[in-house]
């Protein structure tokens, strides 16, 4: 299988029960329900269902592996899964059933559909914050709560940006003040590079391809930008 879940006995068609927004809300109210966010850390960081387990992972494959381990002792409990648009939960719910979970449920149409249904039906929002989506907006606000912080200064913020240095492009949370100060970049090094003339940036890119320190940030789960800024202040002008 492309995602590395190689197991002949894994039946991807044996999926969980689909719940609409009302049913999902009701299930959340039951005692002993376990709700699991099937998205990556940068998605759940800015918005998630109340009480959801949110594995710190970078990829869906890691998410699958980690989540079943996290709740290995809860195979008899009601499991509620959700993701952005419901697609990842098709596989995830089958994965949970494959691992012996009995009562596996998933949010039909994901958070996108949930947001629509609670609005139309006047249901309470049990999802707080923003639904991260991969378009120019990088998120649709569900409630006014801001549950995350700027990765550079720690101020309350849930605005995702991509680092302005094209060779970095790190996705991170940056407040307006930091965006101005850092010119949309994640680190002083990226700021320096993005201020170079385009042909110099290209030269740098060619020469540094293999040893580029920026790739360190990319391969690591959630680089600590505050530490990097603290360490870098003074040394870079």
| Residue placing its CB nearer to Zn ion in the complex, 161 or 170 | 170
Joined tokens for residue 136: 């120019």
State the minimum distance, in angstroms, from the CB of residue 60 to Zn ion: 24
Bridging pattern class, strands 127-131 and 17-19: unpaired
The catalytic position among 83, 89, 150, 185 is 83
Binding site for Zn ion (CB under 5 A): 150, 152-153, 155, 163, 165, 168, 170, 175, 178, 186, 190
What residue spans of the chain are helical by DSSP H?
A: 21-29, 41-44, 60-70, 87-98, 110-121, 176-181, 188-194, 198-208, 214-219, 225-232
- Enter the DSSP assignment of 39: S
State the minimum distance, in angstroms, from the CB of residue 162 to Zn ion: 9
- According to DSSP, the residues that pair with 140 across neighbouring strands are 131
State the minimum distance, in angstroms, from the CB of residue 220 to Zn ion: 13
Q: Which residues lie closer than 8 Å to 53 by C-beta, 6 or more apart?
A: 34, 35, 36, 37, 67, 70, 71
Active site residue 83: yes
| Residue placing its CB nearer to Zn ion in the complex, 5 or 153 | 153
- Report, as residue numbers or ranges, the catalytic residues: 83
């Amino acid at each position: 299988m492309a995602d590395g879940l190689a197991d002949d006995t894994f039946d991807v068609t044996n999926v969980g029960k689909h719940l609409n927004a009302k049913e999902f809300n009701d299930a959340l109210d039951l005692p002993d329900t376990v709700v699991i966010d099937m998205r990556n850390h940068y998605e759940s960081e800015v918005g998630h269902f109340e009480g959801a387990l949110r594995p710190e992972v970078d990829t869906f494959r890691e998410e699958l592996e980690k989540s079943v381990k996290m709740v290995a002792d809860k195979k008899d409990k009601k499991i509620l899964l959700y993701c952005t648009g419901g697609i990842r939960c098709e596989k995830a719910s089958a994965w949970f059933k494959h691992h012996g979970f009995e009562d596996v449920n998933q949010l039909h149409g994901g958070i996108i559909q949930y947001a629509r249904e609670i609005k139309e039906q006047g249901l309470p929002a049990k999802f707080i914050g923003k639904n991260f989506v991969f378009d120019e907006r990088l998120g649709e606000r569900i409630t006014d709560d801001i549950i995350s912080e700027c990765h550079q200064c720690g101020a309350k913020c849930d605005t995702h940006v991509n680092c302005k240095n094209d060779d970095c492009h790190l996705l991170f949370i940056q407040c307006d003040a930091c965006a101005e100060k850092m010119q949309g970049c994640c680190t002083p090094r990226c700021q320096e590079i993005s201020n170079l003339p385009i042909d110099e940036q290209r030269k740098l890119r060619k020469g540094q391809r293999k040893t580029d320190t920026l790739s360190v940030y990319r391969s690591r789960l959630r680089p600590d930008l505050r530490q990097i800024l603290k360490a870098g202040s003074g040394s870079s002008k």
